[in-house]
Structure 1
Amino acid sequence: MKLAGEVAVVTGAGRGIGRAIAQMQAQEGAKVALLARTAAEIGSVADAINAEGGAARAYPLDIVDGEAVAKAFATIERDLGPVSLLTNNAGAFSAYGPIWTVDPEDWRRDIETNTFGTFNCCRAALPRMIARGRGRIIVMTGGGTAVSFPMGSGYATSKAGLLRFAECVADTLVGSGVLVFAMDPGLVRTAMTERQLESESGRKYLTDIPRLFERGLDVPPTLAARLSVEIGAGRFDRLAGRMLMAARGDLDLDEAAVETIVASDLRSLRVNGMPPERPYTP
């Protein structure tokens, strides 16, 4: 088992991508802490994992609540042991359309959940990881990270920001034994995308989403789950601070491809035309 002896935390673990990640990490031997707002959903996932012989516990909370997150991580360590793998999967996307038409509270909530929620979880996990000299953190990116997403500006802003966040924290941690990665799961048919397909504003503004599904760009959540296991097992440590993509064949990256990514300074946010040297090395 690739994650035997690890204690993993997965946020947004009640359904979709988060559920698949939690289940696969448990199948690979990790004891998994499931975080989400809906207690019934993560309770169901925990029951399923435990019934299959794995080890999982549910911790209902809102990741935007920093105090609740800090308390949960302390409880998880008492219940399961030191956290060595954190997957920041929880996310929100409800502000569809031009910024002058969207509800400002929806736009703010997308940013707050995706970015500040991830910050809260990393902030809770990192001191303990640093003290032990080991740990890996996955930050989930998504649509709008690498290209414009004009009708989903809040979501895109948060996800692009998370790629930079992953790099900044990874650079801060150089030499500590703790690594941070960004991961794009691809276009997965989840409850979030179903709302985009079914809501009035989604049908009006996010017209590319159904077209992409019609073209067969429906990525199974198990790809992101498998990639999370490989990251957690250390296979992609050379790519800390960069983005791995579940739907682009990254599970098949060999050492030569990884070295090309590093040497060419790929999978990161850069201004076009800037020299390939990284602007800051601690």
Structure 2
Amino acid sequence: MHNSQPALPCLKGKHIFVTGGSMGIGFAVVREALKAGANVYFCARRPEGIENALNELLQEGFGRERVAGVSADVACTDAMDSMFTEAERIFGPLNGLVHAAAIMGPIGSILHVDPTEWLDAVRVDLFGTFVVAREAAKRMVAAGGGRIVLLSGGGASGPFPNYTAYACSKVAVVRFTETIAQELGALGVVVNCLAPGFVATKIHEATLQAGLAAGGDYLQRTKDELAAGGTSPAYAARAATFLLSDAARGISGKFISAIHDGWDRWPEHISELQESDIFTLRRILPSERGMDWQ
């Protein structure tokens, strides 16, 4: 686990937009970005969650001149267009995005999950990522550049039985990251994808409710992780804030573990990162495992 406490990067005066910002990882990102000097506009699904988050931030000394939040559906194109427009009206041109909003979707064998629920999870987790990233990128290109951080999750780096909607959406987000990083790089926009680790948030309540449909081993792992407190959302928040800052210059198109990858030392290895396919999704060939089948 990556246990170091890197110096807080400077985001002074930057405008950062965070989805899923009322709780869990998203809220930790909002708080960390504010500590780094940014002005933050965030959204979440539930209005009461927005108010609770704003009240907590106000009690911590962050004034309403620096933070605002509203309720919205990230997969609604009209809502996101209006929200980004309002965010820029309040805080000026957009400099950074962290997209943390997601749902777990139906849990169970492909033989039994509800197709409508499955599609809705893909709508939120994958199409919502497209909608949010597209709206942010349009504004960043117009402003001369910016930084986008998307979140992956369980199943992005390996099979995740009984969670097909969530896992397939999240692995697609990784490839989406790599692809739009190439599309937008020449326009001044960098894009990375962050794996936060097992953070004890409400999303895992779905596993507990699903019971054995989640798979006995994963159900027990979830219970154990939650009992132990899980991974602190602070790891993902620090990594996201780093990726939003000038300290991460030259890093784009990468799939990054917030807790394992030593990302705060990456600026020492920019040329190696840029010239190789490390920290990306790739097909493994026999020759890469000492086999020759030709």
| TM-score, shorter chain, exceeding 0.5 | yes
- Corresponding residue of 1:23: 31
5 Å matches for 1:260-275? Answer: 260-273=272-285
The correspondence of residues 172-191 of structure 1 with structure 2, limited to 5 A, is 172-191=183-202
2:238 maps to a residue whose letter is R
Aligned-pair identity in percent equals: 29
Query: Paired residue for 1:214?
Result: 224
- 1:212/1:253 CA distance change after superposition, 3 Å: farther
Letter in 2 for 1:109: D
Residue 210 of structure 1 and its aligned partner are, at CA, apart by 3.1
Q: Does 1:45 align with 2:45?
A: no
Partner of 1:14: 22
| Aligned positions of 1:102-113 closer than 5 A | 102-113=113-124
Structure 2 counterpart of 1:247: 259
Which of the residues 219, 235, 238 maps onto 1:226? 238
Encode CA deviations 1:71-117: one digit per residue, 9 max, x unaligned. 11101110121111100100011211111200112211111101111
**Higher alpha-carbon deviation: 229-238 or 90-99:** 229-238
Q: CA 1:273/1:238 → structure 2, altered by over 3 Å: closer, same or farther?
A: farther
Compute the displacement of 1:53 (Å): 2.9
Match of 2:157 among 146, 149, 152: 146
Kept after mapping to 2: 8 A contact 1:181/1:241: yes
Residue in structure 2 matching 1:56, options 36, 60, 67: 67
Residue 292 of structure 2: aligned partner:
none
How far apart are the structure 1 equivalents of 2:287 and 2:95?
35
Unaligned runs of 5+ in 2: 1-8, 289-294
Structure 1 residues 23-172: aligned runs within 5 Å: 23-54=31-62, 55-172=66-183
1:205 shift after superposition? 1.9
**2:4 matched to which residue of 1?**
none
Pick from 10, 16, 31: which aligns with 1:2?
Answer: 10
Distance 1:252 1:126, change over 3 A: closer
The whole-number CA distance in structure 2 between the counterparts of 1:145 and 1:8 is 25
Contact 1:244 1:250 in 2 (8 A): no
Q: CA deviation at 1:237?
A: 3.3
5+ residue gaps in structure 1? 277-282
CA distance in 2 between partners of 1:164 and 1:153 (Å)? 17
Contact 1:244 1:267 in 2 (8 A): yes
**Residues 200-223 of structure 1 deviation map (CA, whole Å, 9 limit, x = unaligned):** x24432432532663758210010
Q: Deviations over 1:176-221 (max 9, x none)?
A: 111111000011111011331x20x244324325326637582100
SS in 1 for 2:18: strand
Q: Show the counterpart of 2:206.
A: 195
1:204 matched residue in structure 2: 213
| TM-score (ref. length: structure 1) | 0.90
Q: Are the equivalent residues in 2 in contact too, given 1:8–1:30 (CA < 8 A)?
A: yes
If the length of structure 2 is used for normalisation, what is the TM-score? 0.87
> How many residues of Structure 1 are paired with residues of Structure 2 in the alignment?
274
Counterpart residue identity of residue 223, structure 1: Y
Task: Identify if the C-alpha distance between structure 1 residues 148 and 41 changes in structure 2 by more than 3 Å, giving closer, same or farther.
Answer: same
SS at match of 2:30: helix
